[in-house]
Amino acid sequence: MSREKLRQIFIEEANEIIEKMDVDILNYEESPSNKALLNEIFRGVHTLKGSANAFNFSHLGEFVHHFEDVLDYFRNSDVIPSSTDVDLFLESVNVIKETLCLEVEEQSELPLEYAPCLAKIQKILLHLNDTQEPENNSNNDLSIEFGNDTFFQAPTICPTEALLNKLQANEVLYKIILKLDEDIYLRGFDHFLFFKNLSHEGRILTSCWSIPEHLDEELFDVERNAIKEVSLYVASEKDVDSIADVFAFLDEEEFSIEELKAKPREVLSAVEVPKSEQPEEKEEPKKSTIVSKNFLKIDALKLDELFDSIGELVIAQNYLGENTKIKAIQDAEVTKTIENLSKITRLIQNRVMSLRMIPIRDTFDKMKRVVRDSSKKVNKPIHLMLDGEETEIDKTMVEALSDPLVHIIRNAIDHGIEASPEERLKAGKSEEGIVTLKAYHRGGNIIIEVRDDGRGINKAKVYQKALEKGIITKDEELSEAQIYGLIMQPGFSTADVISDISGRGVGLDVVKTAIEAVRGKIDINSEEGRGTTFCIVLPLTLAIIDGMIVRSNEKIFIIPTLCITESFRPQQENVHSAGGKEEFVQLRSDLLPIVRLSRVLELDDNAPSPWESTLVCIENVRGKFALLVDELVGRQQVVIKTLGGFLAKTEGVSGGAVMGNGEIALILNVEELY
């Protein structure tokens, strides 16, 4: 395996570790006595540290090294991290994320928060060094505990491999460790005296200094050396004896010299060894309480290819079933075989689809951090409740869902929940605002609800604001759902004060666009004084949709059933015309505009009467309308195919599907029909 490939694996795994760390820290905050969870966090940081150094991500390596020290202290003591400590942990995870991104892009600069956050960590460590006895520093035992001592052969800040790369021809890299006694200055020596003499023998590349000890004494004695250990890395053409001459007047215990050589094989093997072949980790109780499953990592691209092939298989199978010549064969065995093939195809299709399905738990867990951060930012105590985390959802959908959920949750906390606990108490609610995230299946779709128990949406205010902003006109009559829908219009915001996290009029329109991009939709329900629910309706998968097949002008079209509320054939007296052009149909108390599919797609000028045709009631962002088609053919799951560059921008059409008879049917984009 090439080093580049290994690097990619490291980056991928590092991202997974960081994401998990975020969630684990929040869970740990909820149950601080759970040492197993803290060990899990520590394990992630520890792995990250080793791998970062092995791949020359030096800034990341340095940061996680110090972060690891802090975690190590807490896991080995009875001290429970305070809320400020947890803030620092989470801040550190942010820095780790950003540092990784910068180092992946091979940029030399550091994240803005890198130095301040490191300083805070150092501050804790400085305090610990003075109060903590060495028995609590268990770093030495880590290799035994985790079985990956390979990563500990080089000091974190001075990765050997990076230094070896800096060597010029004929140069050798020496690691010199100075452990000078307290009386060194009185003996006329100094660390920098040796630095000076070494600089005549070669190039000093870098040095690592232990933070001075015994600093808590009231009057620190500057004449006594407080620096326990200094490691120097020197590139020199001289031999080891010449280097040793520099320290001729020191005691043997006060210095050591080591010639360093590249150890690439060891580093690579540490990454390459499959988990099952790694040294046994015997101390099960020290590992996480989270049970690890037997997973196999597969490139998502390969799954997509498999999925496409299954799509082709479904089409081929449908073709067999619909083929008139095959149907004409009056043979029970042939019929049985085709039926059997159909069953097996459906079984394979379902199983392959399930491969792409993952529980929504990870996405929900990420929202804990969003809630915590937002709650602190606007200073409102919030409790997040999760329900239905096991609900499975297409992986592509998960990725598309994350940002919209963040927006909605921030919006709920910022605008939905009352401004202060006092206001909530006055309204007869608990001091703590409650935000609920719930996922479940309904009618072939996945529903994700974000509910807050806040003040609800003030319809009159929304309506007024929309009027002021010219989003609606004065004589426009809107249903309750349409009024709530206005808050997702671009540039709309009823927030009186613009806060850090929302209220800029951007956000909810982005949410709507993002959800619609994955063929989903959002409904809003609200009750003033009781709270608001954002209901995201998503199809099970992006690759297959449940479609209503309709015929218009002898051509077959597919309408996603998610958008259809009902279909009907109207009575003649319920059809009205305005100015001889616009047609409307009375459906119970609603007057819906009639949109002729043949006219929108410019298929034919032939205009059959609505009462002799079928009207499909469709709901899009602008409201409901009745789509006039010749007839309904049936309902079917169809594999979506893209139309290619030439037809991609055809108005009213979002894709195509191969039908059982081999014909292509166009999938309608209901947003562009009216």
Of residues 194 and 534, the one with the C-beta less far from another protein? 194
**Residue closer to another protein, measured from CB, 186 or 591:** 186
Interhelix angle 3-30/83-104, rounded to 10 degrees, is 170
Q: Give the residue with the Cβ less far from another protein, 84 or 199.
A: 199
Q: What is the DSSP letter of 641?
A: B
Distance CA 33, CA 78 (A): 9
The one segment of 207-215, 341-349, 548-556, 646-654 that binds another protein by CB under 8 A = 207-215
Per DSSP, the residues of 367-424 read HHHHHHHHHHHHT--EEEEEE-TT-EEEHHHHHHHHHHHHHHHHHIIIIIS-SSHHHH
Of 99 and 411, which has the nearer Cβ to another protein? Answer: 99
H or E segment at 225?
none
Closest distance of CB 260 from another protein, Å: 15
> Whole-angstrom Cα distance, residue 507 to residue 501?
10
Q: How far is the CB of 269 from another protein (least distance, A)?
A: 24
Closer to another protein by CB, 29 or 68: give it.
68
Q: What are 248's two structure tokens?
A: 């001729």
Question: Is the separation of the CB atoms in 450 and 435 below 8 Å?
Answer: yes
Q: How far is the CB of 520 from another protein (least distance, A)?
A: 47
The span from the CA of 621 to the CA of 521, in Å, is 9
How far apart (Å, rounded) are the C-alpha atoms in residues 128 and 71?
Answer: 12
Q: Which of 128-136, 293-301, 348-356, 420-428 is the region at the interface with another protein (rule: CB under 8 A)?
A: 128-136
Q: Nearer Cβ to another protein, position 143 or 402? A: 143
Selected binder of another protein within 49, 65, 415, 424 (CB under 8 A): 65
Query: Who's near 266: CB < 8 A, 6+ residues apart?
Result: 150, 153
Site for another protein, residues 221 to 240, rule: CB under 8 A: 222-223, 225-227, 229-231, 233
Does 165 participate in binding another protein (rule CB under 8 A)?
A: no
Q: Do 285 and 36 touch, CB atoms closer than 8 A?
A: yes
Distance, CA of 534 to CA of 412 (rounded, Å): 9
Nearer to another protein, 126 or 510 (CB): 126
Q: Which stretch binds another protein (CB under 8 A): 18-26, 219-227, 257-265, 595-603?
A: 219-227
Q: In the set 156, 493, 541, 598, which binds another protein (CB under 8 A)? A: 156
392 binds another protein (CB under 8 A): no
- Site for another protein contains 258 (CB under 8 A): no
- Given candidates 94, 136, 207, 499, which one binds another protein under the rule CB under 8 A? 207
Binder of another protein out of 22, 24, 40, 69 (CB under 8 A): 69
**Crossing angle of helices 58-75/83-104, nearest 10°?**
160
Could you tell me which stretch among 196-204, 381-389, 407-415, 557-565 binds another protein (CB under 8 A)? Answer: 196-204
CB of 125: closest distance to another protein in angstroms?
4
In the structure encoding, which two tokens stand for residue 665, read together?
């049917």
Can you point out the beta strands (E) in 503-589? 521-527, 531-539, 544-552, 555-560, 564-568, 575-578, 582-587
Give the strand pairing for 531-539 and 521-527.
antiparallel
654 near another protein, rule: CB under 8 A: no
Taking CB under 8 A as the criterion, the residue among 86, 204, 303, 495 binding another protein is 204
Mode of pairing for the β-strands spanning 382-387 and 255-260: unpaired
138 makes contact with another protein (CB under 8 A): no
For the CB of residue 262, give the shortest distance to another protein in the complex, in Å.
Answer: 20
- Residue closer to another protein by CB (options 125, 316) is 125
Map residues 579-608 to x or -, x wherever contact with another protein holds by CB under 8 A: ------------------------------
Number of residues that bind another protein (CB under 8 A): 51
- Shortest Å, Cβ 180 to another protein: 9
449 in contact with another protein (CB under 8 A): no
What residue type is assigned to position 170 of the chain? N
- Taking the C-alpha atoms of residue 610 and residue 594, their distance in angstroms, rounded to an integer, is 8
Residue among 155 and 593 whose Cβ is closer to another protein: 155
Q: CA-to-CA distance for 343 and 165, rounded, in angstroms?
A: 61
Taking CB under 8 A as the criterion, the residue among 3, 123, 426, 635 binding another protein is: 123
Q: Is 542 in the site for another protein (CB under 8 A)?
A: no
Single-letter residue type at 581? K
Task: Give, as ranges, the residues between 82 and 121 that touch another protein (CB under 8 A).
Answer: 115-116, 118-119
Stretch that binds another protein, among 190-198, 276-284, 409-417, 517-525 (CB under 8 A): 190-198
Among residues 16, 183, 216, 422, the one that binds another protein under rule CB under 8 A: 216
The amino acid at residue 469 is: K
Q: Which string of DSSP letters, residue by residue, matches 25-90?
A: HHHHHH-TT-HHHHHHHHHHHHHHHHHHHHTT-HHHHHHHHHHHHHHHHHHTSSPPPPHHHHHHHH
Residue 139 binding another protein, by CB under 8 A = yes
How would you label 76-104 residue by residue, b for 16+ Cβ within 10 Å and e otherwise?
beeeebeeebbbbbbebbbbbbbbbebbb
Structure tokens at 564: 């259809």
Give the Cα separation of 569 and 610 in Å (integer): 7
Out of 4, 108, 170, 219, the only residue in the binding site for another protein (CB under 8 A) is 219
Give residues in contact with another protein (CB under 8 A): 62, 65-66, 69, 115-116, 118-119, 122-123, 125-126, 128-130, 137, 139, 155-158, 185, 190-192, 195-196, 199, 203-212, 215-216, 219-220, 222-223, 225-227, 229-231, 233
